[in-house]
Amino acid sequence: MQELIDKAHSIIATSRSVTVITGAGVSAESGIPTYRDEDGLWSNFRAEDFSSAEAFKQDPTKVWDWYKERRRTMAAAQPNEGHKALAALERNHMQFMVITQNIDGLHQRAGTDNIIELHGSVWRLRCTNCLGEWEDRSAELPWLPYCESCHSLARPAVVWFGESLKPQEWERAVRASYCDTLLVVGTSALVNPVASLPEIAQKNRARIIEVNAGETPITAIADVSLRGKSSEILAQLAEEKEHTIDGMHDMDLGKAMQRGLEKFYAKYPQLRKYVDGSGGKVE
């Protein structure tokens, strides 16, 4: 196992662009139930009863009550070491993107900036009439939330069964899949079209690293497949260390680039002020 982790570590550390696809497994250790696992949400509920436009039309209160409960669970949860490790990896790479299917906002709370929330977020609401969207993090929502501009019923801005992804978000995700390394973490990789991204990435010569508690359809195409808890494995993958590749000492590419920038500013000190907030104004 350590050998596989070292191999994955070195692939990631020497990649210029890294894209990560995450699923419910990443948040499982924060106490948020996954969907399809044995004790997952869908073993206790019929998804169509709570997560579809049909269910919402029939009984918006029932659907909202369920989402309010999920919001409470997610608000009480804390980002785990896995979320934090991904935020650390972002800091060390010039091009880094997290494509998440999660709606809990834990990646952002851990410090991840570059993120595509493909399935939306429980912290956003959308008007069923004018389709306006807004953020609402309040601990308690009204009995039925309404849109302030047109006074129509609001719904959670998440992607439900049978609904499409937002085209511009999907396009961003496809674009991010053109990367050196694709890390696929804690997703059963059964839901399309997200499940097709690893294939797109691989066709374009990305290396694929999988982190999951069990086998998934990604296992067969992955260059490295790591079995276990995402918090523990990701923490190891984000560890800062010097490692050798083919006997050569290598250092983290992100840091190498950072050093490259330092060299650049040593040569052109007058340009630094534009980025470090010390008064350089773009005119």
First to last CA, the chain: 54
Among 19, 108, 121, 216, binds ligand NAD (CB under 6 A): 216
> Which among ligand NAD, Zn ion, none contacts residue 147 (Cβ within 5 to 8 A by kind)?
Zn ion
State the virtual CA torsion across 138, 140, 141, 143 in degrees, nearest 10.
-170
Question: Closest CB to ligand NAD among 173 and 253?
Answer: 173
Provide the CA 275 distance to its chain's centre, in angstroms. 27
Find out whether 20 and 183 touch, Cβ atoms under 8 Å.
yes
Pairing of strands 133-135, 120-127: antiparallel
- For 144, the 3-state DSSP assignment is coil
Among 11, 15, 18, 35, binds ligand NAD (CB under 6 A): 35
Q: Which amino acid type is present at position 280?
A: G
Question: Closest CB to ligand NAD among 118 and 147?
Answer: 118
Distance CA 255, CA 241 (A): 11
Bond before 198 cis per omega within 30 degrees: no
Distance CA 199, CA 143 (A): 43
Q: How far is the CB of 151 from ligand NAD (least distance, A)?
A: 27
Question: On the CB side of 232, how many CA atoms lie within 13 Å of its CA?
Answer: 8
Contacting range for ligand NAD; rule: CB under 6 A; set: 19-27, 83-91, 144-152, 238-246: 19-27
**Catalytic residue selected from 9, 119, 151, 249:** 119
What is the dihedral sign for C-alpha 148, 126, 123, 134? negative
Q: Does 42 bind ligand NAD (CB under 6 A)?
A: yes
Helix extents (H) in 129-166: none
Distance CA 186, CA 208 (A): 14
Please, which of residues 89-148 interact with ligand NAD by CB under 6 A? Answer: 101, 119
What the block records as the tokens of 54 is: 């049909």
Active site (annotated) includes residue 119: yes
Q: Distances from the Cα of 177 to the Cαs of 134, 165, 191, 199, in angstroms?
A: 28, 16, 17, 9
Contacting range for ligand NAD; rule: CB under 6 A; set: 32-40, 140-148, 199-207, 273-281: 32-40
> Which among Zn ion, ligand NAD, none contacts residue 130 (Cβ within 5 to 8 A by kind)?
Zn ion
What the block records as the tokens of 49 is: 């009863």
Number of residues lying near Zn ion (CB under 5 A): 7
Question: Closest CB to ligand NAD among 34 and 92?
Answer: 34
User: Binding mask 173-192 vs ligand NAD (x if CB under 6 A, - otherwise)?
Assistant: -------------xxx--x-
User: Binding mask 113-142 vs Zn ion (x if CB under 5 A, - otherwise)?
Assistant: --------------x-xx-x----------
Among 88, 103, 147, 185, binds Zn ion (CB under 5 A): 147
Question: Closest CB to ligand NAD among 23 and 254?
Answer: 23
The residues assigned a catalytic role are 119
Residues at the contact surface with Zn ion, assessed by CB under 5 A: 127, 129-130, 132, 147, 150, 152
Residues at the contact surface with ligand NAD, assessed by CB under 6 A: 23-25, 28-29, 34-37, 40, 42, 47, 51, 101, 119, 160-161, 186-188, 191, 212-214, 216, 229-230
